[in-house]
């Protein structure tokens, strides 16, 4: 674990210590120590099976690490479920599409977090007017201009869908936004837009983790780059201090 | 088409445009095709039968039995929207009235017997759901097993001899005629409206559709997909049981063979009403329309003196047509996704 101090940095938003994860005999995470500092965009790179996705799943509550701790702002937490991760301000934009194509944009934006009137035991009438209004505002906030929030997500292009996913994450005031290969299947222009948005995260007070196979994208967008291989961190450096050849060499 | 990011891309050619528009109509109003077909068939039978089809006496015949098929169809529709199947509804349709009748004959009060009967159905639904999800097997198989289990239970508890309903129970709550319909119709309409509102207006409805529409997305957004599916399994079983009980109140005695083949009719009604086999698409109204269509065909064939044995032929043809157009739209959807 070169370059990582054993005690959490004072400004660490998220601090992982000794994270281990086994999948039926495969040791996917071998004691990950990682600080994600508030206000940075961290690039996470590595070949398929290097453990990036597993690490992200632990942070977004999809998987629970078998050993080790995760602390948010110095407080050790058990994330456990996606819902709890969201409540802690950790939003994830997955590489697979996390939208329901047969539902409207407004409904997709609020999936699982619908504003409810007269609720009983967590179930109740949705405040659809509010959902529509806030959805339009949320789309505008990420500079996505769609005709209406009632359009079905299935009608949108890949880039527009990613835009809706970003709008969703931003609307719920995430503190940490994880973008898991967000530019897969996007056109060049759409990719530029997503990269520009990622660069602008710190200005909006949001910390980012950006995962990509494209080293150029990572070097363009991130402040710091962490490379993983075989379940371990093999490089952790400021982007300014690392060259693309060096990145390729460690992977 | 990929260079416009901010507005829905204007179609470059006519063909995908038409596909897209059809797809949009289907996604937003999946029951529309069924509704058009229903209107056409009603008009056809009305003409062919010299106006007898829509007479009050005949409407009684059509609508009197509708709630019994309709409740089952609505339950199956909602479960299918959540992405699961239930083939055991026909057996549960017989199991609940058999349990209720036996309980009544043991001296259990009416309300208590009904509640216990619904409880039995709920248990069937829980077993269907838990086995399906716990062992990650297709609900098609789980509920096929339950079809036999519940049917067998019904025959066993009946003792092989159909018991009679006591005469002093308030079964008029369901069987009394008001105008051309029985009270059971009001129950059916009330329940269907409530469930329709649940599906379209509540967050639970949103979760049901999301669970069937994209399971991975629903999970990653923190929706309790297992509990959502379990709810739909239980709801489906309870509606099937209630429907069977209503039928027995009308007939007076619970036959152990009640509802045989009903599971397939219910699935047919749901699919003809626009519910997608893969989940995520469908409406309660669609399920109702599908059930009405089945009744209209059944009745219309008799009225127009066509050999009634054509009924299954007609239903089967419709079902296949519905599924084929369903598959075509899905393919169109995939092609559009690639193009944009």
Q: Sign of the C-alpha dihedral, residues B76, B80, B81, B84?
A: positive
What is the chain A residue with the closest CA to B336? A155
- Tell me if chain B has a CB within 8 Å of the CB of A116: yes
CA distance B287 to chain A (A): 18
Q: What is the pLDDT of residue B308?
A: 76
Q: Looking at the partner chain, which of B3, B216, B222 has a beta carbon nearest the beta carbon of A112? A: B222
> Residue B216 and residue A144: Cβ atoms within 8 Å?
no
To 10 degrees, the CA torsion angle through A98, A101, A107, A108?
10
- Tell me if chain A has a CB within 8 Å of the CB of B168: no
B166 lies in some domain:
yes
Among A61, A176, A46, A158, which residue's Cα sits nearest to residue A101? A158
For the stretch A145-172, pLDDT in tens is: 887 888 888 878 888 888 899 899 888 8
Q: Which residues of A touch B333 (CB under 8 A)?
A: 101, 154
| B94 vs B99: CA distance, rounded Å | 9
Q: Write the DSSP symbol of residue A152.
A: B
Angle at A120 between CA A63 and CA B193, to 5 degrees: 105
> Residue A124 and residue B202: Cβ atoms within 8 Å?
yes
Token pair of B161 as six digits: 């001899």
Taking only residues 56 to 95 of chain A, the set having a beta carbon closer than 8 angstroms to any beta carbon of chain B reads 60-62, 81-83, 86, 92, 94
B17 lies in some domain:
no
What is the chain A residue with the closest CA to B3? A189
Q: How far is CA B141 from CA B153, B212, B259, in A?
A: 18, 18, 19
* ipTM of the complex as predicted: 0.83
Q: Sign of the C-alpha dihedral, residues B147, B148, B151, B154?
A: negative
Q: How many CB atoms lie within 10 A of CB B61?
A: 17
Angle at B193 between CA B188 and CA B195, to 5 degrees: 95
Q: Which residues of B touch A187 (CB under 8 A)?
A: 2-3, 5
Q: What is the pLDDT of residue B32?
A: 85
> Residue B217 and residue A187: Cβ atoms within 8 Å?
no
| A225 vs A223: CA distance, rounded Å | 7
> Residue A126 and residue B7: Cβ atoms within 8 Å?
no
| B228 vs B205: CA distance, rounded Å | 9
Q: Write the DSSP symbol of residue B188.
A: H
CA distance A224 to chain B (A): 27
CA distance B95 to chain A (A): 30
Q: Looking at the partner chain, which of A61, A101, A125 has a beta carbon nearest the beta carbon of B213? A: A101
H or E element at residue A225: strand A224-229
| B211 vs B219: CA distance, rounded Å | 8
If you write DSSP's letter for every residue of B97-123 in order, what string do you get? Answer: HHHHHHHHHTT--HHHHHHHHHHHHHH
| A221 vs A41: CA distance, rounded Å | 7
Can you name the residues that pair with A124 across neighbouring β-strands?
none
Q: What is the pLDDT of residue A145?
A: 81
B300 lies in some domain:
yes
> Residue A123 and residue B204: Cβ atoms within 8 Å?
yes
Q: What is the pLDDT of residue B199?
A: 95
B292, HSE (Cβ side, Cα atoms, 13 Å) = 23
Specify the residue for token string 């219910």: B266
Q: What is the pLDDT of residue B302?
A: 85
Q: Which residues, given as ranges, of chain A have pLDDT below 50? A: 1-6
B21 lies in some domain:
no
Token pair of B166 as six digits: 């006591």
B39, HSE (Cβ side, Cα atoms, 13 Å) = 5
- Domains of chain A, first to last: 1-89+174-251 (3.40.50.300), 100-173 (no CATH)
Number of domains chain B contains: 1
B27 lies in some domain:
no
Terminal Cα distance for chain A, rounded? 16
Q: What is the pLDDT of residue A45?
A: 92
CATH number of the domain enclosing B195: 1.10.3470
Question: In this structure, are strands A176-180 and A90-93 parallel, antiparallel, or unpaired?
Answer: parallel
Among A95, A79, A36, which residue's Cα sits nearest to residue A222? A36
Q: What is the pLDDT of residue A48?
A: 84
Token pair of B173 as six digits: 């709550």
Q: What is the pLDDT of residue A101?
A: 86
H or E element at residue B137: none
> Cβ distance B216 to B280 under 8 Å?
no
Specify the residue for token string 């709630």: B67
Q: Which residues of B touch A94 (CB under 8 A)?
A: 216, 220
pLDDT tens, N- to C-terminus, chain B (340 residues): 334 344 444 444 445 566 677 777 777 788 888 888 899 999 999 998 888 888 888 888 888 889 999 999 999 999 999 999 999 999 999 999 999 999 999 999 999 999 999 999 999 999 999 999 999 999 999 999 999 999 999 999 998 788 888 888 888 888 888 877 889 999 999 999 999 999 999 999 999 999 999 998 999 888 999 999 999 999 999 999 999 999 999 988 899 899 999 999 999 999 999 898 888 999 999 999 999 999 998 888 888 888 878 888 888 888 888 878 777 776 776 665 544 4
- Tell me if chain B has a CB within 8 Å of the CB of A98: yes
Residue span of the structural domain in which B233 resides? 32-339
Token pair of B47 as six digits: 């003409």
B13 lies in some domain:
no
């Amino acid at each position: 674990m070169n370059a990582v101090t054993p005690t959490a940095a004072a400004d660490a938003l998220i601090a992982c210590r000794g994270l281990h994860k086994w999948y039926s005999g495969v040791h996917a995470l071998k004691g990950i120590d990682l600080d994600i500092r508030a206000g940075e965009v961290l690039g996470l790179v590595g070949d398929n099976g290097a453990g990036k996705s597993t690490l992200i799943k632990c942070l977004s509550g999809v998987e629970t690490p078998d050993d080790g701790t995760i602390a948010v702002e110095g407080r050790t937490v058990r994330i456990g479920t996606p819902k709890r991760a969201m409540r802690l301000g950790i939003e994830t934009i997955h590489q697979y599409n996390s939208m329901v194509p047969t539902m409207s944009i407004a409904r997709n934006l609020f999936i699982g977090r619908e504003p409810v009137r007269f609720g009983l035991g967590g179930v109740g009438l949705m405040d659809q007017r509010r959902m529509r209004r806030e959805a339009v505002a949320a789309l505008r906030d990420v500079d996505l201009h769609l005709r209406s929030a009632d359009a079905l997500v299935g009608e949108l292009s890949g880039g527009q869908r990613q835009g809706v996913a970003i709008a969703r994450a931003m609307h719920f005031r995430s503190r940490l936004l994880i973008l898991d290969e967000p530019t897969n299947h996007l056109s060049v222009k759409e990719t530029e837009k997503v990269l520009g948005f990622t660069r602008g995260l710190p200005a909006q007070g949001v910390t980012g983790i950006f995962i990509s196979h494209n080293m150029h994208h990572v070097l363009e967008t991130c402040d710091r780059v962490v490379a993983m291989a075989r379940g371990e961190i093999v490089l952790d450096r400021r982007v300014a201090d690392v060259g693309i050849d060096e990145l390729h060499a460690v992977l | 088409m990929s260079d416009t990011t901010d507005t829905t891309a204007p179609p470059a050619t006519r063909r995908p445009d038409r596909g897209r528009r059809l797809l949009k109509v289907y996604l937003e109003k999946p029951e529309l095709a069924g509704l058009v077909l229903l209107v056409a068939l009603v008009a056809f039978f009305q003409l062919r039968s010299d106006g007898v089809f829509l007479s009050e006496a005949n409407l009684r015949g059509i609508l009197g039995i509708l709630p019994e098929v309709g409740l089952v169809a609505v339950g199956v529709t909602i479960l299918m929207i959540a992405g699961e199947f239930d083939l055991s509804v026909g057996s549960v349709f017989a199991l609940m009235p058999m349990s209720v009748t036996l309980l009544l004959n043991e001296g259990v009060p009416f309300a208590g017997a009904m509640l216990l009967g619904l409880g039995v159905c709920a248990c069937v639904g829980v077993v269907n759901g838990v086995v399906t999800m716990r062992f990650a097997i297709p609900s098609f198989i789980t509920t096929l097993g339950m079809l036999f289990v519940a049917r067998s239970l019904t025959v066993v508890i009946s003792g092989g001899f159909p018991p009679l309903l006591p005469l002093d129970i308030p079964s008029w709550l369901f069987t009394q005629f008001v105008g051309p319909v029985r009270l059971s119709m009001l129950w059916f309409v009330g329940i269907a409206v409530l469930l329709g509102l649940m599906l379209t207006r509540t967050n639970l409805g949103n979760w049901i559709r999301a669970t069937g529409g994209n399971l991975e997305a629903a999970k990653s957004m923190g929706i309790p997909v297992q509990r959502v599916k379990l709810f739909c399994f239980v709801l489906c079983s309870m509606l099937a049981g209630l429907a069977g009980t209503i039928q027995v109140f009308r007939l007076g005695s619970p036959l152990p063979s009640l509802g045989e083949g009903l599971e397939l009719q219910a699935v047919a009604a749901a699919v003809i009403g626009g519910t997608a086999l893969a989940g995520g698409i469908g409406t309660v109204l669609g399920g109702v329309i599908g059930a009405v269509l089945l009744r209209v065909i059944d009745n219309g064939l008799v009225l127009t003196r066509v050999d009634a044995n054509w009924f299954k032929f007609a239903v089967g043809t419709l079902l296949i047509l519905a599924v084929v157009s369903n598959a075509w739209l899905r393919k169109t959807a995939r092609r559009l996704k690639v193009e944009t």
